[in-house]
Amino acid sequence: MRSSTTRPPSTAERLLLGAIGLASFLGLWWGMSASGLVAKQFLPTPLDVLARTQYLLTEPFAGATLPEHLARSLERYAYGFLLAAGVGVPLGLLMGWFRWLDAMVTPVFDGLRFIAPIAWVPFAALWFGTGIGGPIMIIFSGAFPPCLINAYRGARFVDAKYIEAARMLGTGSLRTILEVLLPASFPAIVAGLRIGAGLGWQSLVGAELIVASAGVGYMMVQGQSNISTPTVVAGMVAIGLVGLVIDVFLRQIEAFVRHRRGLA
Protein backbone atom coordinates (compact mmCIF):
# COMPACT_ATOMS: atom_id res chain seq x y z
CA MET A 1 0.00 0.00 0.00
CA ARG A 2 1.28 3.43 -0.90
CA SER A 3 2.23 5.54 2.10
CA SER A 4 0.14 8.66 2.71
CA THR A 5 3.19 10.54 3.88
CA THR A 6 5.42 12.39 1.45
CA ARG A 7 9.16 12.82 1.51
CA PRO A 8 10.17 16.19 2.93
CA PRO A 9 11.89 18.41 0.35
CA SER A 10 15.65 18.61 0.39
CA THR A 11 17.53 21.86 1.03
CA ALA A 12 18.02 22.43 -2.69
CA GLU A 13 14.34 21.79 -3.36
CA ARG A 14 13.34 24.18 -0.58
CA LEU A 15 15.56 26.89 -2.06
CA LEU A 16 14.11 26.30 -5.53
CA LEU A 17 10.52 26.36 -4.30
CA GLY A 18 11.24 29.49 -2.26
CA ALA A 19 12.72 31.19 -5.31
CA ILE A 20 9.66 30.24 -7.38
CA GLY A 21 7.34 31.62 -4.71
CA LEU A 22 9.29 34.88 -4.43
CA ALA A 23 9.43 35.29 -8.22
CA SER A 24 5.69 34.67 -8.46
CA PHE A 25 4.98 37.28 -5.80
CA LEU A 26 7.23 39.87 -7.45
CA GLY A 27 5.71 39.09 -10.84
CA LEU A 28 2.17 39.56 -9.53
CA TRP A 29 3.20 42.79 -7.81
CA TRP A 30 4.89 44.09 -10.95
CA GLY A 31 1.93 43.11 -13.14
CA MET A 32 -0.63 44.89 -10.95
CA SER A 33 1.45 48.08 -10.88
CA ALA A 34 2.57 48.11 -14.51
CA SER A 35 -0.87 47.21 -15.90
CA GLY A 36 -2.49 50.28 -14.40
CA LEU A 37 -4.95 48.28 -12.30
CA VAL A 38 -3.52 50.17 -9.36
CA ALA A 39 -1.96 53.60 -9.83
CA LYS A 40 1.81 53.74 -9.29
CA GLN A 41 1.18 56.50 -6.79
CA PHE A 42 -0.39 53.87 -4.53
CA LEU A 43 1.46 50.71 -5.64
CA PRO A 44 4.95 51.40 -6.99
CA THR A 45 6.82 48.75 -8.93
CA PRO A 46 9.55 46.67 -7.25
CA LEU A 47 12.16 48.71 -9.16
CA ASP A 48 10.70 51.95 -7.82
CA VAL A 49 10.94 50.58 -4.29
CA LEU A 50 14.51 49.37 -4.90
CA ALA A 51 15.53 52.78 -6.20
CA ARG A 52 13.89 54.50 -3.24
CA THR A 53 15.61 52.12 -0.82
CA GLN A 54 19.00 52.91 -2.34
CA TYR A 55 18.24 56.61 -1.91
CA LEU A 56 17.15 56.18 1.72
CA LEU A 57 20.35 54.30 2.55
CA THR A 58 22.39 57.46 2.13
CA GLU A 59 19.98 60.40 2.12
CA PRO A 60 17.98 61.49 5.20
CA PHE A 61 14.21 61.26 5.22
CA ALA A 62 12.19 62.36 8.27
CA GLY A 63 15.42 63.38 9.94
CA ALA A 64 17.55 60.28 9.32
CA THR A 65 18.66 57.72 6.76
CA LEU A 66 17.08 54.27 6.66
CA PRO A 67 19.99 52.62 8.56
CA GLU A 68 19.71 55.31 11.24
CA HIS A 69 15.96 54.75 11.57
CA LEU A 70 16.60 51.01 11.82
CA ALA A 71 19.23 51.59 14.51
CA ARG A 72 16.73 53.56 16.61
CA SER A 73 14.12 50.85 16.15
CA LEU A 74 16.54 48.08 17.09
CA GLU A 75 17.65 49.99 20.18
CA ARG A 76 14.07 50.24 21.44
CA TYR A 77 13.46 46.63 20.49
CA ALA A 78 16.50 45.39 22.39
CA TYR A 79 15.46 47.18 25.56
CA GLY A 80 11.86 46.00 25.39
CA PHE A 81 12.62 42.39 24.46
CA LEU A 82 15.39 41.96 27.03
CA LEU A 83 13.10 43.39 29.69
CA ALA A 84 10.31 40.99 28.67
CA ALA A 85 12.69 38.00 28.73
CA GLY A 86 14.34 39.13 31.97
CA VAL A 87 10.99 39.32 33.76
CA GLY A 88 8.96 36.66 31.94
CA VAL A 89 11.37 33.71 32.07
CA PRO A 90 12.22 33.89 35.81
CA LEU A 91 8.59 34.58 36.72
CA GLY A 92 7.42 31.63 34.61
CA LEU A 93 9.91 29.30 36.27
CA LEU A 94 8.91 30.50 39.73
CA MET A 95 5.21 30.07 38.92
CA GLY A 96 5.94 26.54 37.73
CA TRP A 97 7.64 25.72 41.04
CA PHE A 98 5.61 27.63 43.62
CA ARG A 99 1.90 26.79 43.36
CA TRP A 100 0.91 29.73 45.57
CA LEU A 101 2.63 32.16 43.20
CA ASP A 102 0.94 30.49 40.24
CA ALA A 103 -2.47 30.90 41.90
CA MET A 104 -1.75 34.56 42.68
CA VAL A 105 -0.35 35.67 39.31
CA THR A 106 -2.40 33.61 36.83
CA PRO A 107 -5.74 35.47 37.16
CA VAL A 108 -4.07 38.84 36.57
CA PHE A 109 -1.86 37.53 33.79
CA ASP A 110 -4.72 35.78 31.99
CA GLY A 111 -6.72 38.98 32.08
CA LEU A 112 -3.92 41.10 30.65
CA ARG A 113 -2.31 38.81 28.07
CA PHE A 114 -5.32 38.94 25.74
CA ILE A 115 -5.05 42.72 25.44
CA ALA A 116 -3.39 43.46 22.10
CA PRO A 117 -0.11 45.38 22.45
CA ILE A 118 -1.46 48.16 20.23
CA ALA A 119 -4.22 48.74 22.80
CA TRP A 120 -1.56 50.02 25.22
CA VAL A 121 -0.52 52.78 22.81
CA PRO A 122 -2.82 55.47 24.33
CA PHE A 123 -1.35 54.81 27.78
CA ALA A 124 2.19 54.79 26.36
CA ALA A 125 1.56 58.15 24.69
CA LEU A 126 0.09 59.63 27.87
CA TRP A 127 2.80 58.30 30.17
CA PHE A 128 5.91 58.65 28.02
CA GLY A 129 5.04 60.91 25.09
CA THR A 130 7.34 60.28 22.14
CA GLY A 131 10.25 59.19 24.34
CA ILE A 132 11.82 55.75 24.38
CA GLY A 133 9.64 54.53 27.25
CA GLY A 134 6.45 54.25 25.18
CA PRO A 135 7.79 51.86 22.51
CA ILE A 136 9.57 49.81 25.19
CA MET A 137 6.26 49.42 27.02
CA ILE A 138 4.52 48.26 23.81
CA ILE A 139 7.31 45.82 22.95
CA PHE A 140 7.24 44.43 26.48
CA SER A 141 3.48 43.86 26.29
CA GLY A 142 3.91 41.87 23.08
CA ALA A 143 6.98 39.81 24.00
CA PHE A 144 6.27 39.16 27.69
CA PRO A 145 3.39 36.60 27.49
CA PRO A 146 5.19 33.99 25.31
CA CYS A 147 8.33 34.25 27.45
CA LEU A 148 6.38 33.62 30.65
CA ILE A 149 4.02 30.94 29.28
CA ASN A 150 6.76 28.79 27.75
CA ALA A 151 9.00 29.04 30.81
CA TYR A 152 6.01 28.11 32.98
CA ARG A 153 5.06 25.12 30.83
CA GLY A 154 8.66 23.99 30.62
CA ALA A 155 8.91 24.04 34.42
CA ARG A 156 5.59 22.28 34.97
CA PHE A 157 6.41 19.43 32.60
CA VAL A 158 9.91 18.65 33.88
CA ASP A 159 10.31 14.91 34.47
CA ALA A 160 9.26 14.23 38.07
CA LYS A 161 12.22 11.90 38.67
CA TYR A 162 14.63 14.84 38.44
CA ILE A 163 12.64 16.78 41.04
CA GLU A 164 12.46 13.73 43.32
CA ALA A 165 16.19 13.14 43.03
CA ALA A 166 16.90 16.76 43.97
CA ARG A 167 14.59 16.52 46.97
CA MET A 168 16.18 13.27 48.14
CA LEU A 169 19.54 15.04 48.12
CA GLY A 170 18.10 17.83 50.23
CA THR A 171 18.41 20.47 47.53
CA GLY A 172 16.70 23.76 48.35
CA SER A 173 14.09 25.42 46.15
CA LEU A 174 16.36 28.07 44.65
CA ARG A 175 19.07 25.57 43.77
CA THR A 176 16.49 23.18 42.31
CA ILE A 177 15.13 25.96 40.12
CA LEU A 178 18.60 26.95 38.88
CA GLU A 179 20.13 23.48 38.49
CA VAL A 180 17.11 21.32 37.59
CA LEU A 181 14.15 23.36 36.35
CA LEU A 182 16.11 25.87 34.27
CA PRO A 183 18.23 23.36 32.28
CA ALA A 184 15.28 21.00 31.77
CA SER A 185 13.01 23.86 30.65
CA PHE A 186 15.57 25.44 28.34
CA PRO A 187 14.12 24.13 25.03
CA ALA A 188 10.69 25.49 25.95
CA ILE A 189 12.23 28.77 27.09
CA VAL A 190 14.09 29.24 23.80
CA ALA A 191 10.89 28.48 21.86
CA GLY A 192 9.09 31.13 23.91
CA LEU A 193 11.87 33.64 23.29
CA ARG A 194 11.56 33.05 19.55
CA ILE A 195 7.80 33.65 19.59
CA GLY A 196 8.20 36.65 21.88
CA ALA A 197 10.89 38.12 19.65
CA GLY A 198 8.57 38.07 16.64
CA LEU A 199 5.63 39.55 18.52
CA GLY A 200 7.87 42.17 20.09
CA TRP A 201 9.20 43.28 16.70
CA GLN A 202 5.67 43.56 15.31
CA SER A 203 4.58 45.50 18.39
CA LEU A 204 7.51 47.92 18.01
CA VAL A 205 6.48 48.92 14.51
CA GLY A 206 2.89 49.51 15.65
CA ALA A 207 4.16 51.70 18.48
CA GLU A 208 6.43 53.71 16.19
CA LEU A 209 3.50 54.50 13.93
CA ILE A 210 2.01 56.52 16.79
CA VAL A 211 4.35 57.23 19.70
CA ALA A 212 7.80 57.82 18.23
CA SER A 213 9.76 60.64 16.63
CA ALA A 214 12.26 58.35 14.87
CA GLY A 215 12.44 54.75 13.70
CA VAL A 216 11.20 52.77 10.71
CA GLY A 217 7.54 53.08 11.72
CA TYR A 218 7.90 56.85 12.10
CA MET A 219 9.59 57.01 8.69
CA MET A 220 6.66 55.15 7.15
CA VAL A 221 4.14 57.56 8.71
CA GLN A 222 6.06 60.51 7.30
CA GLY A 223 6.18 58.79 3.92
CA GLN A 224 2.42 58.34 3.98
CA SER A 225 1.94 62.00 4.94
CA ASN A 226 4.09 63.05 1.97
CA ILE A 227 2.34 60.57 -0.37
CA SER A 228 5.67 58.80 -0.88
CA THR A 229 4.43 55.24 -1.26
CA PRO A 230 7.88 53.87 -2.24
CA THR A 231 9.16 55.11 1.12
CA VAL A 232 6.36 53.29 2.93
CA VAL A 233 7.00 50.05 1.03
CA ALA A 234 10.78 50.37 1.55
CA GLY A 235 10.11 50.60 5.28
CA MET A 236 7.87 47.53 5.13
CA VAL A 237 10.58 45.56 3.30
CA ALA A 238 13.18 46.62 5.87
CA ILE A 239 10.88 45.56 8.71
CA GLY A 240 10.27 42.18 7.10
CA LEU A 241 13.94 41.50 6.43
CA VAL A 242 15.06 42.44 9.95
CA GLY A 243 12.27 40.33 11.44
CA LEU A 244 13.34 37.40 9.26
CA VAL A 245 16.96 37.73 10.41
CA ILE A 246 15.87 37.77 14.07
CA ASP A 247 13.67 34.72 13.58
CA VAL A 248 16.32 32.73 11.69
CA PHE A 249 18.89 33.51 14.38
CA LEU A 250 16.61 32.35 17.19
CA ARG A 251 15.47 29.34 15.15
CA GLN A 252 19.07 28.21 14.84
CA ILE A 253 19.54 28.57 18.59
CA GLU A 254 16.35 26.59 19.19
CA ALA A 255 17.48 23.82 16.81
CA PHE A 256 20.90 23.69 18.49
CA VAL A 257 19.37 23.42 21.97
CA ARG A 258 16.91 20.71 20.90
CA HIS A 259 19.70 18.77 19.19
CA ARG A 260 21.94 18.96 22.26
CA ARG A 261 19.12 17.66 24.43
CA GLY A 262 18.23 14.88 22.00
CA LEU A 263 14.83 16.32 21.11
CA ALA A 264 15.41 16.57 17.37
Buried-exposed string 148-173: b where 16+ CB fall within 10 A, e elsewhere: bbbbbbbbbebeeeebeebeeeebee
Q: What is the CATH number of the domain that holds 140?
A: 1.10.3720.10
| Cα Rg of the chain (Å, integer) | 23
- Say yes or no to pLDDT of 5 above 80: no
Is residue 234 included in any domain, yes or no? yes
Is residue 36 included in any domain, yes or no? no
Cβ atoms of 154 and 186 within 8 Å: the answer is: yes
Is residue 21 included in any domain, yes or no? no
From the list 116, 115, 92, the residue with the least C-alpha distance to 105 is 92
Is residue 7 included in any domain, yes or no? no
Is residue 9 included in any domain, yes or no? no
Residues in the chain: 264
Q: What is the mean pLDDT of the chain?
A: 85
Structural domain boundaries enclosing 209: 45-260
Is residue 3 included in any domain, yes or no? no
Number of Cα atoms under 13 Å in the Cβ half of residue 253: 17
- Say yes or no to pLDDT of 66 above 80: yes
Whole-structure pTM value? 0.82
Is residue 187 included in any domain, yes or no? yes
Neighbours of 232 (CB within 10 A): 21
Is residue 31 included in any domain, yes or no? no
Domain count, the chain: 1
